Amino acid sequence: MSGSLPFYQKHHRHYDRGYRSREAQSAVSQYQQTSSTYSSQSKSSSKGIAASFTALDESSLSPLTKRAKPTYLAMDKENQIIGYVVPIYRGSQEYASGLSDTEEARLKGSSGYMARRGLFSSAMEMERSEHHTSRRSVMRESAERISLTKRIHDNEEYHKRMNEDNLMHTPEFVIKPRSHTVWEKQCVRLHCTVSGWPEPRVVWYKNNVSIDPMANPGKYKLESKYNVHSLEINRCDFDDTAQYRVSAMNSKGELSAFASVVVKRFKGEVDESLPVPSQHGWACEYGITFETHVVDKFGVSFGREGETLSLGCTVVIYPNLQRYKPEIEWFRDDKLLTPSKWIQTHWSGDQATLTLTHLNKEDEGLYTLRVTTKSGYETHSAYVFVRDADAEVEGAPGSPLDVVCQDANKDYIIISWKQPAVDGGSAILGYFVDRCEVGTTNWIQCNDTPVKFARYPVTGLVEGRSYIFRVRAVNKTGMSHPSRVSLPAAAMDPADRARKGTSAPWTGQIIVTEEEPAEGVVPSKPCELTITEATRNYVVLSWKPPGEKGHEGIMYYVEKCVAGSDSWQRVNTEIPVKSPRFALFDLAEGKSYSFRVRACNSAGVGEPSEPTEPTTVGDKLDIPAAPGRVVPTRNTDTSVVVSWEASKDAKELIGYYIESSLVGKNQWEPCNNKPVKGKRFICHGLTTEESYVFRVRALNAAGLSDFSQESEAIKVKAAIASPAPPFGITVLECERDSMVLAWKQPAFIGGADITGYFVDYREVVGGVPGKWHEANIKSVSERAYRVSELKENMDYQFQVRAANMAGVGIPSAPSEVFRCEEWTIAVPGPPHDLQALEVRKTSLTLLWKPPVYQGRDEVNGYYVDIKEAAAGIEAWRGVNEKACTSRYLKVSNLKEGETYVFRVRAQNKAGVSKPSEATEPVLADTKPGTKDMVVDVDDDGVVSLVFECSLMTPDSKFVWSKNYEEMTENPRMTIETKGGKSRAIFNNLDVEDIGIYSCIVTHTDGASGSYALTEEGVKELLKVSHDHKFPIIPLKTELAVELQEKGRVRFWLQAEKISANGKVEYVFNDNVISQGEKYKMNFDKNTGVIEMFMDSLSNQDEGTYTFQLQDGKATNQSSLVLIGDVFKQLQKEAEFQRKEWTRKQGPHFVEYLSYEVTPDCIVRLRCKVGNMKKDSVALWYKDGREIKANEKLDFSEGVLNLEIAQISRKDSGVYETIVKDDRGKDTSKLNLTDQGFKDLMNQVFSVIANSSTPLKIQSTEEGIRLYTFVNYYNDELHVTWKYKDSAIAFSDRIKSGVVGEQLWLQISEPTEKDKGKYAIEFFDGKGGLQRTVELAGQAFDDAFAEFQRLKAAAIAERNRARVAGGLPDVVTIQEGKALNLTCNISGDPLPEVTWLKNDREMVSDDHYLLKFESGKFASFTITQVNTADSGKYSILVKNKYGTESGEFTVSVFLPDEVPPPSKK
């Protein structure tokens, strides 16, 4: 075993508990063993008398006077046992109630007690009902045990009387409590062993005062089990330093033992991994024991100034009572946090969350969550680091922190702060202090020049006002961000502050009540004048007011005098000082001064105080010396413990800053941004496997010290500790005198390989365990061991310890009691040592070892069972229906993110064994960085399997297996490992190598992979290997031929990859050809393109062409056969290409003449020409007749267009275009006759059809019309109207026609038979296009109704009454004349005629003759006109279809008057 860890690894509060010191482990182990020993020794006796002595055990915990012992036996008058009594609540109380019988009865009768009982009654009612039936059976069994108990008790009493050693005697301390010296925040346990008869009552005292655990919940814990009594003090503080006494008393006497506890104040941090109290206890108030577990814990966190950071844990409390709420508290560096604008806490019922809304460096520290219930508490802690925000100016320092108002009075407030860890790369020149009055946002700088001392008195404040302050650091580069603001402070004396009135929140002003002035008396001199603080910038004086104040508020004048002279100078001449403290500025550094103070009031100035001793102006506080030797020590994979020697003779030390740098980089980064006061710190956030150096500097108010010397370099990796206990001890085989045990590997192996295991055993007789004995002196490497030389039919318990290079770990918990008797069952024993490998998101491989006990026959197969980890035992199900003969199985079809457990059963001819122990829960997930095993074939054809791991540690190793049997020496394979990659090379791959190859990486979180090599896989790999041994140059393309411009022939191929050393031979008909006049060769090694050119092909060039490639040992060739028709076609095409090239030397057609139809049904003849110049000419011809330029001839951008609008059959013909100039000419023709014209017109019809609108329904007075519009109508267009998919036979009732661009179908006088689907089909020579409409249902009804309405309106319009004409507008007539007017009347039926004069109906008489003749003519006659006949006349005709009127005016004049002009 290795030695203990250094001191600083024992006392660090957030140090990993896995690295607990050896002493602490030994102490814990000793206490556990002692407790378990007494537990085991008392089991047998307690088994029979538990019912009788439960109350006695509980009463022994009480620190008060022993009260009557209750009994659970029912007795008659002769004290004979006749029954039993079962209490409602059972269980051992963790804390004594501390109440007498009468007090407890009074408490139970109180309303508070009943309320607390009622709080949980509903929650427990269901549980009581569920256990009611089982309680009856337990009561019957208890009655039987009581009878046996009485006989056993009588027998024991008889033997006690016969044995002198067991006679009644005074208490004795078998083991006395020992004294302890501990650090603050540690836990300490005092324990003792007491004997005596009757059983002594034990009470603990602190400085002779009885200790009551209930008075300080969570502070003390008392336990008494099997004569072992202990007092546990949780999180010791300085007040726990005391003498502790334990008193044991019975009827024979009393005896006490003493132990001292000394609590030292430790400047650093304390290791919370030291023994902690059990934090679950009996809540006697409710009769329930709460168990608290903190899961999903927050870890070490990093943030940056200005960010928001949340810490959270899931808290599980059992039992879960809805109305019960635990006490949730958060601490930072052991200081309770309260909600504020910076801190928010939340409890959701199972989640505790702390949110830091705006991070500052003040928030850095150790955060602790404490969950307190009535049964105890549970805590979790982790460190939070806060980095500086990015500076506004690169190179500016970090912001100061912890701005505090230390001394506040009427005249000034002293502000202190801590210097930042980051200076930006240049020394900090000083600090500026800003103030802001509470309630405003106006920040005012308090000092004109930066101050270096980290304290500064701010003057010029308004008395009674409240202020907040902030500080900024400055260096030669720039200014830092301001610090977090201080808490508000009022400018007033402390005495006045105690008498302050109401604060006005909008200004922060504090209203102070002054004494009423009275008759003034000159005050006496102040006293006890002292210099409380002196720096190079200021001096602070403090004194006591004079005893006689003159019954009026006084003020002070301060005077100074240079040492050696007698010239006193008043400092505050203009404004007297109101408070008995004052800060003086503008003193000459290095000079000595004396000071004195005078009191004054309205009555005058008093005598001066006694002067101070001469004081030299300058910093009295020196910058601390550099810290001493810095020692880093390994901690975890990402952290290092750094300790150092304290700065010598440092005064008012604030703390230390630690910096780290990668070795050789000299780039220093702060490890903490908030000073730590200890001499030890854990630096987190480091990179695993990197080497770092560290340095430290101290700071006080005067400034930062020099850096310490750099530490030695240390590589970041986890420290080594002894392994945790094994677990899951089971029996694999049992014979008459031996048993084979198996166990599971510890969850934590201590960072080093486990070198072996040690097994201990002990006999259990009558339920009482004996002493432990070693089963093996030499450690065993397997997790199974046969323990021999046991006694047949004897009961045994076992424990196992694991060992590594750090030492032997603590033993496991004792196993179950196993009886040593030979197994005779026919089926085999259970398999053991289950292991899950190659865990992926949907699969894993399960391995196991065969049963040690084979049964009657050999094992011939295995079954694997699976279930979800959270499911019950009924969820077990089989993975394989057919037994597998191998000792491994790949389990597939897992659900990603689900957690599973597995077990295995063995089978032989007799049957199936019991299942093995279940595995630990396995999460189906592919971990980041996981890689699968791959097969590789190198350039020499060597086949190998490669497994790569990126999560290796320095101690990791690759372990290769075949069929999951480790390959120690395999002549067929060679293993090569380099870095994080291991390669298993097949020496001579063959079918013998078929199997599953796997690789495990030790000291990782299960990194493993496998590759199944099948027979088909071997064949494929051998083929690939052969290709690699005898390589060929891969070709992207085989040899091909193509024609280029001027009919030039190109032979070419392209290789995928070829080096600069590649060579090519060109072969024609087995003869090598070379570069010359006929053949031109080109070889581009960058692209792998190989070419050969020939200007033309002659008949002698018919044959086979071959390109032969060579690149090192790789070769390839490709051939092309050009003979027969293939060669002739190529030769013909080459000749054509040559002619084409000649044609294109002058103006020519790039695209020959074609046509297109525009959406407007314009036919456009077009062609594209090239190589044109200014004097080039383009001519159009139709049927040999030139088309003139005014016929829309167009030429632009090399395109010739001829547009034909409203094409008709007369436009049919042969069109020709000719381009020519002095270089030559080219011709293009287009035949638009017969079929060509039909195709053109069909395309026109297609455009017309596509432009048609959907068929619509329109009602007319004749019937219903269906119509569609097209963009253009051509007389050649052929359309077909269809009804129900059949062509319509037109008649007088159903007609079709065209009006402009509208095509219509008219259905006159529609009927129900006309309902149905109508369509118009356009013919375009292909599929045509059809537009349809459904004239049925509501559409038909609406159209028919509209038709009826229009028809009726037309009839009415034709037959309504009308006045056809004949009436003038104005009639001028001479008096005495006769007037006769006639108008035509029409209408059917015959209208009624009415004449009106001045809107009054007229009647025919002798003067007015009104006639209506032949039903057509209405006449109006005045036989002899007079002036009375002047007026407005009208005729009104009316029948059932309408009414119409005609008006005229009659004007009568006398014969001698001039008639007015007539109006027409």
Residue 79: its pLDDT value, please? 45
pLDDT at res. 551: 43
List the beta bridge partners of residue 1065: 1108
Query: Span 870-886, mean pLDDT?
Result: 92
Split at pLDDT 50, 70, 90, the class of 44 is very low
Q: CB within 8 A of 416, min separation 6: which ones? A: 402, 403, 404, 406, 454, 455, 456, 701
The reported pLDDT for the residue numbered 126 is 43
| pLDDT of 156 | 64
Task: Note the Cα 810 to chain centre separation in Å.
Answer: 39
Average the pLDDT over 645-659 and give the result. Answer: 90
The span from the CA of 1065 to the CA of 1110, in Å, is 9
Three-class secondary structure of residue 1108 per DSSP: strand
CB-hemisphere CA count at 13 Å for 327? 11
Residue 619 — very low, low, confident or very high, per pLDDT cuts 50/70/90? low
Confidence of residue 137 (pLDDT cuts 50, 70, 90): low
CA–CA dist 1253, 1271 (Å, integer): 9
Q: The sheet that has 169-175: what strands, in order across it?
A: 169-175, 188-197, 228-233, 220-225
Q: Which helix (H) or strand (E) holds 1341?
A: helix 1337-1359
Question: Which residue did the predictor score with more confidence, 727 or 166?
Answer: 727
Measure the CA dihedral 444/448/449/452, to 10°.
-40
Residue with tokens 């409409």: 1333
Number of H helices, E strands in the chain: 9, 105
Alpha carbon separation from 808 to 3, 984, 1289 (Å, rounded): 12, 36, 110
Tell me how far CA of residue 520 lies from CA of 350, 544, 608, in angstroms. 69, 20, 18
> What's the start-to-end Cα distance of the chain, in Å?
141
Give the pLDDT of residue 954: 77
Whether 58 has a pLDDT exceeding 50, the answer reads no
Q: Which of 433-437, 1292-1296, 1343-1347, 1450-1454 has the highest mean pLDDT?
A: 433-437
Please report the pLDDT score of residue 885 as a whole number.
Answer: 92
Closest CA relative to residue 1240, chosen from 1268, 1217, 1274, 1216: 1274
pLDDT, tens digit (0-9, with 9 covering 90-100), for 293-312: 888 899 999 999 999 999 99
State what percent of residues in the chain have pLDDT above 70.
84
Model pLDDT, residue 125: 44
The Cα–Cα gap between 1395 and 1433 comes to 7
For residue 162, the one-letter residue type is M
Q: Give the pairing type, strands 1370-1374 and 1442-1453.
A: parallel
The pLDDT assigned to 34 comes to: 40
Compute the average pLDDT of residues 801-809.
Answer: 87
Predicted local distance difference test score (pLDDT) of residue 92: 33
Pairing mode, strands 1224-1232 and 1213-1221: antiparallel
DSSP state of 1140: H
Name the DSSP letter for residue 494: H
Residue 1386: pLDDT over 90: no
Could you give the CA distance from residue 908 to residue 914 in angstroms, rounded to a whole number?
A: 12
Residue 4 has pLDDT above 50, yes or no: no
Q: What is the band of 158 on the pLDDT scale with cuts at 50, 70, 90?
A: low
Q: Is 1417 exposed, middle or buried (0-12, 13-18, 19+ CB in 10 A)?
A: middle
Q: Count the neighbouring beta carbons within 10 Å of the beta carbon of residue 777.
A: 6
Q: List residues bridging with 718 in a β-sheet.
A: none
- C-alpha span between 769 and 818 (Å, rounded): 12
Residue 281 identity: G
Going by C-alpha positions, the residue among 765, 686, 627, 665 that lies closest to residue 300 is 686
pLDDT at 1457: 66
pLDDT band at 130 (very low <50, low <70, confident <90, very high): very low
Contacts (Cβ under 8 Å, ≥6 apart) of 1351:
1261, 1262
Pairing of strands 180-183, 253-264: parallel
When mean pLDDT is compared over 42-46, 955-959, 981-985, 1297-1301, the highest value belongs to 981-985
Omega within 30 of 0 (cis) for the link into 400: no
pLDDT at position 630 is: 93
Query: Which strand ranges, in their side-by-side order, compose the sheet holding 1049-1055?
Result: 1035-1043, 1049-1055, 1089-1094, 1080-1084
Q: What is the pLDDT of residues 932-985, one digit of tens each?
A: 999 999 988 899 999 999 888 777 899 999 999 998 888 889 999 998 899 999
The most confident of 358-372, 579-593, 1447-1461, by mean pLDDT = 358-372
pLDDT at 948: 93
Task: Output 1197 or 673, whichever has higher pLDDT.
Answer: 673
pLDDT at 443: 94
What are the tens digits of pLDDT across the range 1269-1291?
A: 988 888 888 888 989 888 888 88
More confident residue, 541 or 64: 541
Q: What is the DSSP letter of 873?
A: G
List phi, psi (to 5°) of 298. Answer: -75, 150
Burial class of 269 by CB neighbour count within 10 A (0 to 12, 13 to 18, 19+): buried
pLDDT tens string 867-876: 999 999 999 9
Distance from C-alpha of 33 to C-alpha of 1072, rounded to nearest angstrom: 96
CA atoms within 13 A on the CB side of 302: 10
Give the residue-averaged pLDDT of 54-65: 35
Q: How many other β-carbons are positioned within 10 Å of the β-carbon of residue 1172?
A: 16
Query: Model confidence at 83, in pLDDT bands (50, 70, 90)?
Result: very low
Q: What is the pLDDT of residue 976?
A: 92
Average pLDDT over the chain, rounded to whole? 82
pLDDT in tens, 674-719: 999 889 999 999 998 899 999 999 999 888 999 999 999 999 988 8
Strands 301-304 and 376-387: parallel
Looking at residue 341, its pLDDT comes to 86
Token pair of 724 as six digits? 């945790």
Contacts of residue 1116, defined as CB under 8 A and 6 or more positions apart, other chains included, come to: 1032, 1033, 1034, 1035, 1055, 1109
Q: Averaged over 1411-1426, what is the pLDDT?
A: 87
